[in-house]
Structure formats: structure tokens, C-alpha cells
Structure 1
Amino acid sequence: MTIKRFPYEGLGRCEAVVSDGIVYAVATDPSLADGIIAQTQNTLNELRRILEAAGSGLAGMLQATVYLNDVRQKPNLDSVWLDWIGPETNWPQRACVGVDLDEGCLIEVVVTAKLV
């Protein structure tokens, strides 16, 4: 079994790992922009970059877990997500969870995707 890792700078973790045709990826907003809308846009753009670098993309997403610092912000997440995710053929199984995140971080997204 081959494992390909895409390290993240200095945090002891990878932004993506590929094994047996499956991509495991995580993204946050690298700039920690102000507000959930901006952080969601930046996080999802970062996620797209990571998935494409790993050999997948939006159409390859199987499952997504969205961690929100304030789960009451889910409608704002959804407004950005629906534009970003595209047609129904791209829609993964998705869950949203309210959690404590690092200072300034309002959203973190973890996905499982297949290579395309």
C-alpha cells in the first residue's frame, strides 16, 4: 500500500493524504479573514486547491464534515457552500458540527474524496 502525504507547514500534520485511491483532506482559511462568509469562501477555495493538488476535485468528494465555531452560522455557510459545490453530481454526504476552534478560526472542513 502506497501512502502519499501533502505536508502542511510546520504543524505536524498533512493537509492531505492519499491512500488506495482515497484522498483525506482538511482546510481552514489561511488568512483568518473577518466573518464567517469570508472565512468560508477562503476555506472552500483552499479545499479545492488541496483536492486538485492531490488528484481529486469537487466531483470526487464523498464525505465532508464542517466544523463551525458557532453552529448558528450554518445558514451563512450554506449560502457560500451552494455556490461553491456546483451541480448535484458534486454533492457529498455532509455534516456540520459546532466546536471550539483555534483562536480566530471560524470554520474547518474535513473531506474524504476519491481520485478522479
Structure 2
Amino acid sequence: MTIRRIECGRRMSQAVVFNGLVYLAGQVASEEANETTVAGQTRLALAEIDRLLAAAGSSKAHILSASIWLANIDTFSEMNSVWDAWVAPGAAPARATVEARLAGPEYLVEIAVVAAVSA
């Protein structure tokens, strides 16, 4: 049984690969980005997802499920406009989106995914 951890810290790993699947931690826009719109933060979170999936040997075309948390559900369509342009054609994953209080008021969206490793 091999478990591979990517960007493993004391508290959590950004991704964990096991048994042909990659589990990503919730991704948010970095504080350094100073992005204050849901669309902008969604783009940054999705770019991190792309980066981590590539490091794990996967891609957005192999995402099986996504969980999305919005600080304000009224921004659902703003987030969806970025998501819809990003998701791989014909490979939309199962997905849930909810409103939640995120780790800090600067965060407007957080996205976690589970994907199949494509190798």
C-alpha cells in the first residue's frame, strides 16, 4: 500500500494519491494575490487545482467529484461563469456547492476535488 503526499505540511497535505485516486485539499486564492472578487478567486483556486493535479499525474478531465464552498451563495452565478469556462468539455464531475463561513473573511470561494490518476 503506497500513499503519496504532495506538499505535505504539519497540519495537512495539499494532495494525497492513493489507489489510483488523488484527493485535493480545499484550494483558495492565495492572500498575496489580493483578489477580492469571486470570479478572480475562483480562477486562482482552479489554477492551483490544475497545478496539483498535474503534480499527481492527473488533470481536470479526470475529476470525479468537486465540493465548492462560497462565502455568499448569491455569488453562485459569478463562480459558475468561471467554472463553466474551465471544466473539461464532456467531463463535468459530480459537484456540490454550498454557502459556508470560510477560514477567513478574505476567502470568498474554496474548492476541493477528487480525481482519477491518469497514468
Q: What's the TM-score, normalizing by structure 1?
A: 0.92
Deviations 1:14-55 (A, max 9, x none): 110000010000311113511111101111111111111111
Q: Does 1:92 align with 2:93?
A: yes
2:47 aligned with 1:48? no
Q: Deviations over 1:48-99 (max 9, x none)?
A: 11111111101110000001111111100110001111302x2100110110
- Ranges of 4+ aligned residues in structure 1 off by more than 3 Å: none
Other structure's SS at 2:83 match? helix
Matched residue pairs, number?
114
CA contact (8 A) 2:61 2:88 kept: no
Secondary structure in 1 aligned to 2:67?
A: strand
CA distance in 2, matches of 1:76, 1:108: 14
Aligned to 2:7: 7
Q: Does 2:117 match 1:115? A: yes
CA distance in 1, matches of 2:56, 2:109: 21
Identity of aligned residues (%): 34
Rounded Cα–Cα distance in structure 2 between residues aligned with 1:98 and 1:7: 27
Distance 2:48 2:34 in 1: 12
Q: Hey, what's the Cα distance between the residues in 2 that align with 1:91 and 1:115?
A: 16
User: 2:81 corresponds to which letter in structure 1?
Assistant: S
Give how far 1:13 is off. Answer: 0.7
3-state SS, counterpart of residue 28 of structure 1: coil
The corresponding residue for 1:83 is 85
Q: Which runs of 5+ in 1 are unaligned?
A: none
Q: C-alpha root-mean-square deviation of aligned residues, in Å?
A: 1.3
Equivalent residue, structure 2, for 1:59: 61
**Aligned-partner Cα distance in 2 for 1:57–1:13:** 21
The normalised TM-score by structure 2 is 0.90
**Which segments of 5 or more consecutive residues in structure 2 lack a partner in the other structure?**
none
